[in-house]
A and B are shown apart, each in its own frame.
Chain A
């Protein structure tokens, strides 16, 4: 708590300025003639504290703005400290007086186990190993192996392939005599057998397990601690530690994360974060599929992680160099570590899954319809053929173009396409890494793009996408070339 005599001294030192400010506020108040919803006194005080938005508002509404402005300037010049500081001190004095009457403190320290946990998460020497453990168990073991492996295999194999698909196919074929309509609903690319299957059997288990782990991490209060740990690294890419929150959320869903990048302070940071989310942060569905694809090949996994991380740092670094603006500040309140409440964790996981599901199902259906349309008109084959040279320059089979085409609709859809491709045994280790890496970088999905437009404006959004598409393919070609030149077998 505040030492009484010190505070009073401080207030004493500035006391006469408090009177000046009061007087200026009173004068301005009497000059404000319009209605502002908030009291005139508040508007006057905000004006004195240089609030640009309020200034613009008052300028528009009051004829006497110039007189008001000169009062502000005069008051500012007569005070030794910024008015905002002095006004805050005045409030603080009042609050102190109130609290002396209503608060009783028998100061107790937080428990030693709390202090210990807090310490080990924020010291680099222990904090980094803890981060790696969280990533290994939370992401790799639980999301990658359990969610994307065990659960997906079960729903895919034991439910869809064993029962749903054959049953639907038989039903559709027996009920509907027209081949094109059969194909729209079922068979290889049908709404149910492809669209719904991707959504329910592949995406949902992965997204669900990710959000479960992420909710626990969020509720524990770990993220602000991670933020302070990585601040220095993030400064290199033009961001500050606070950006760790949208970035990690991006591993769940980049669309949500783009919205959350609002919490970043400068426009420059928001643009860099949006770009990196669109380019180098795979969403949970993508991540899960890729972890599952590569989980049998640790070296391939290492190459993929290393490559994406490198792109993340490099593009971040370059955009920080190119975009004008000052170095961001890092300051953040670190809340106490709390034990996650089961109820909240479950409710949050379910509500996010629900949100995600409602978001993706129409897109998946639409994608199925478009692919169906493309197939019967021959457009699909045409595009596949057109993409064939690009695929072959990355060392990929022509059929891989399918995954990229899917990826246009949704990141996760593309990843799911990759999953199917790998299951058919069409790819070797190098090809899998190249395809995974390119698909990770490749276009943000439509939902993410629309949020990018909404939050950053159409020009920025288009510029970002215009950069990403060629960049993704060039990276794929470069990676393929590198791996082949070095003669790596993964």
Chain B
């Protein structure tokens, strides 16, 4: 396993169909962050990217979420 305090890559850089673990949420834009928190996107959860175009669609736990790039970009993930 890579160094744990490394923040990983953004969700948008994953390939469609790839699975990863959420490492954290980029909090530069607090509004965008609170939206992700509201949807239950939290560190430690498994995420699978289902689609990139026309919107990002990903599954976190048992929830499917659709979001545009500017929101999805803030999700940092780590591939196992």
Contact = CB atoms under 8 A, between A and B. Distances in A.
A299 B60 CA distance: 47
A85 B33 contact: yes
Contacts of A81: 27
A2 B42 CA distance: 9
A46 to B, nearest CB: 13
Interface string A220-244: 0000100111111001000011000
A26 interface: no
Interface residues of A, number: 40
A122 B57 contact: yes
Interface string A326-361: 010111111110000000000000000000000000
A329 B32 contact: yes
B36 interface: yes
A13 B5 contact: yes
B75 to A, nearest CB: 11
Contacts of A118: 64
A229 B54 contact: yes
Given A1-B61, A10-B43, A85-B27, A329 B66 contact: no
Interface string B2-43: 001100000000000000010011010011111111010011
Contacts of A7: 43-44
Nearest to B30: A82
A248 interface: no
Contact of B66 (A2, A9, A235, A332): A332
A460 interface: no
Nearest to B67: A331
The secondary structure that dominates the A interface is helix
Interface in A299-337: 327, 329-336
Nearest to A240: B68
Q: In which size bucket is the chain B interface?
A: 35 or more
Interface in A76-99: 81-82, 84-85, 88-89, 92, 96
Contacts of B39: 331, 333
A330 B68 contact: yes
A10 B53 contact: no
A124 interface: yes
Task: Name, among B31, B51, B68, the residue most crowded by chain A CB atoms within 10 Å (CB to CB).
Answer: B68
A459 interface: no
Interface in A442-488: none
A96 B40 CA distance: 13
A123 interface: yes
A434 B70 CA distance: 42
A82 B27 contact: yes
B64 to A, nearest CB: 4
Nearest to A6: B44
A241 B55 contact: yes
Given A85-B33, A122-B57, A329 B43 contact: no
A32 to B, nearest CB: 24
A486 B70 CA distance: 45
A228 B65 CA distance: 10
Contact of A227 (B51, B66, B71): B66
Contacts of A9: 4
A228 B5 contact: no
A3 interface: yes
Given A3-B21, A13-B5, A334-B66, A329 B54 contact: no
A84 B57 CA distance: 25
A330 B35 CA distance: 10
Contact of A330 (B4, B36, B55, B64): B55
Interface of A: 1-3, 6-7, 9-10, 13, 50, 81-82, 84-85, 88-89, 92, 96, 118, 122-124, 224, 227-232, 235, 240-241, 327, 329-336
9 contacts: A1-B45, A3-B44, A6-B4, A9-B4, A88-B42, A122-B51, A124-B53, A227-B66, A231-B55
Interface of B: 4-5, 21, 24-25, 27, 30-37, 39, 42-46, 50-51, 53-55, 57, 61, 63-68, 70-71
Given A6-B44, A92-B42, A241-B55, 15 more contacts: A1-B61, A2-B44, A81-B27, A92-B44, A122-B50, A228-B57, A230-B54, A231-B54, A231-B68, A235-B68, A240-B68, A329-B32, A329-B70, A331-B68, A333-B63
**What 6 A-B pairs are tightest by C-beta distance, nearest first?**
A7-B44, A228-B66, A334-B64, A228-B55, A2-B44, A331-B67
